[in-house]
Structure 1
Amino acid sequence: MFGRTTLLIAAALGLTLGTSAAEAQIKLKWAHVYETSEPFHTESVWAAQEFAKRTNNKYQIEVFPASQLGKETDINQGLSLGSVDIIISGSSFAARAYPPIGVTYYPFIFRDADHLLAYTKSDTYKELAKGYEDKTGHHIVATTYYGARHVTSNKPIKACADMKGLKMRVPDVPAYLAMPRSCGANTTPIAFAEVYLALQNGTVEAQENPLTTIEAKKFYEVQKHIVLTAHIVDHLNTIVAKGTWDKWSAEDRATFVAVAQEAAARATKQIQTREAELVGLFKEKGLTVSEVDKKDFIDAVAKGVTFEQFGYRKADYDKIVAIK
């Protein structure tokens, strides 16, 4: 009898301990606007699982892709509202809270992907990330290369002037609008998830995004021309909300930073590899892929846009341009 009672008590204790352990697991939400096929999602899922593994399953992170928790503006606001814990988002959206960090979206500031990646290792990057954190409390832990942004259109574009009057979808962010508006395009802010339909039904005639996004979102199905403007060399930050970051121990913070940076490096490599392949693939699908005289576009931007109107600092621009 005694033995049976002991076993029952032990079983009850085991159940209680097991329940407590399950309740103790911390659940977090990680949001972004990208498709499940894209490296930004697949590497986020890997990072979430790896973080759980390296912290003995202390954390359970669920990744919400494809605008499931809202548009990019929404998830950025969610960091402060407490509706999300981690996001992947561009510095152009971070600039709404801290304008200087948006200087990296000033058209043609970066020569190429290598220049951008060199910037992410620079003191200027650290200073701008700290400025954003000082303003918001949110912590940038990693940066991923998103791709060089190019224009797609249903009419050929050989020069900046060819964009005059063009109905073009551009994210509702000042830096994204700079080049199209300098060239006279009629810009329209349409939610990322709705761009394909807008192109298909003629609400807009053009849009701009990296080649990998043009592939993932299938914009090539509803556009005839890809114009390699590379007007913005884009990137995404992995950002942890202040409320979440403040609760993590120094050890957990270091673990997540390591995981996030590894995921960012892996996604970056995948994007670079795919970009190199896509020009040929788009041509095979019957699209016209053309180069342009970038100086023509650069001159138009210089005439039409000032640093001050965006809240950028010329000193930051000069430092970034000088990075080798």
Structure 2
Amino acid sequence: MKIGKSFIPISVVALMLAACNQSSSAEKEPTLLRLGHIQSESNAWHKGSLRFAELVNEKTEGSVKVEVYPSSTLGADRDLVEGMQIGSVDFALVAGVMSNFHEPYSILELPYLFEDLDHLEEFVYGEDGKRLQNETLEETGVRGLEFWLRGPRELTTNKLVESPEDLRGTKIRVPNIEASVEGWKAMGASPTPMNFGEVYSSLQTGVIDAQENPIEFTASARIHEVQDYLVMTDHVFGYVQLLMSEKTFEDLTESERGAVLEAAEEARMYQNEIVFSEEEAALQLMVDEGVEVIEVDQEPFRDAVQDVNERLADKYGRDLYDTIQSMRE
């Protein structure tokens, strides 16, 4: 039988196809995703973000790579959330500003809502915290992956503050959150909402007199260079969330999604382990560089905000507020 010139044995065709598949698989570019946050590279948020990126790379065997952009490179908090909604930002670390996108988060920003860190953990890592994340996803298109812990928020000032009466006339920077604005008004200050990236220069030039943040946050941004006092108010036991664009999540394969979720949980444990040891080091740094630490009786500050808390609980979520309060018992 005469064989035509175009004949190629089936076995040869199979080998050629296998080689092509291996080649295309080897040449496939990884999916590059971007994670933004407002903190400096020395902050625990950044270290946790880098660990998350490392874990995602490992768990997806390099098919997904996460690039981390600190120091508001991708925008301020609100910009990051809006970016996740449209898919231009893939991940972000965002705290209380989420209340501008899903109102019940305002409850978590009420001053003196949580008694201590254990109280906060009981909420965010329980069923109520998961329910809040699910509601946020439905309303905003932004997926809450994990809550990361932070140290309590403390006040820094350029004048001695020992009671709410000492706050009169003090221009204090606060995040653009109603609970923060109204809470500090009730404590006697003149709150000024402002992006965090503007705080250092505004303190330096006298546009504001004070600000409030966790110690490690304050120290890593070198805020203590332009503030004299650290006032231990412990007025908010807060969190930051590792968030993800649902558009990005849906574009991943099932195995990649699982890898991202696993990486998020492990990165949360890593960040939570280092954040408080770093806070101790940050406090020592601030003291060594001249900041005076003021211990205050917190009860007058707590009493000053109770009417605000009750009013905002009715506005943003009485059920959530009462649930958190019941955990005190």
TM over 0.5: yes
- SS of the equivalent of 2:239 reads strand
Residue aligning to 1:146 = 150
Q: Which amino acid in the other structure matches residue 33 of structure 1?
A: I
Residue aligning to 1:77 = 82
Q: CA deviation at 1:279?
A: 3.9
Picking from 271, 276, 301, the partner of 1:272 is 276
Alpha carbons of 1:193 and 1:14: their partners in 2 closer, same or farther (altered >3 Å)?
farther
Q: CA deviation at 1:101?
A: 2.6
**In the TM superposition, what whole-angstrom CA distance separates every residue of 1:91-111 from its partner, at most 9, and x where no partner exists?**
x22221211133111111112
Range with greater deviation from structure 2 (232-241 or 101-110) = 101-110
Alpha carbons of 1:15 and 1:31: their partners in 2 closer, same or farther (altered >3 Å)?
farther
8 Å contact kept, 1:99–1:310: no
Residue aligning to 1:221 = 225
Residue aligning to 2:3 = none
Range with greater deviation from structure 2 (113-122 or 203-212) = 113-122
8 Å contact kept, 2:145–2:244: yes
Q: Does residue 64 of structure 2 align to residue 59 of structure 1? A: yes
Q: Percent identity?
A: 28
- SS of the equivalent of 1:158 reads coil
Residue aligning to 2:245 = 241
TM-score (norm 2): 0.88
Mapped partners of 2:19, 2:216: distance in 1: 50
Mapped partners of 2:324, 2:138: distance in 1: 21
CA-based RMSD of the aligned residues comes to 2.3
The alignment covers a number of residue pairs equal to 313
Residue aligning to 2:306 = 302
Rg (Cα) greater in structure: 2
Q: Does residue 71 of structure 2 align to residue 46 of structure 1? A: no
The runs of 5 or more residues in structure 1 that have no matched partner are 1-9
**In the TM superposition, what whole-angstrom CA distance separates every residue of 1:20-71 from its partner, at most 9, and x where no partner exists?**
6444421111111111111211221121122112111111211111100111
Mapped partners of 1:308, 1:279: distance in 2: 33
8 Å contact kept, 2:37–2:70: yes
Mapped partners of 1:194, 1:121: distance in 2: 33
Q: Does residue 175 of structure 2 align to residue 171 of structure 1? A: yes
Residue aligning to 1:263 = 267
Mapped partners of 1:67, 1:267: distance in 2: 19
Q: Which amino acid in the other structure matches residue 116 of structure 2?
A: D
Mapped partners of 2:325, 2:258: distance in 1: 31
TM-score (norm 1): 0.89
The runs of 5 or more residues in structure 2 that have no matched partner are 1-14
Mapped partners of 2:23, 2:316: distance in 1: 53
8 Å contact kept, 2:97–2:176: no
Mapped partners of 1:148, 1:205: distance in 2: 20
8 Å contact kept, 1:99–1:311: no
- SS of the equivalent of 1:83 reads coil
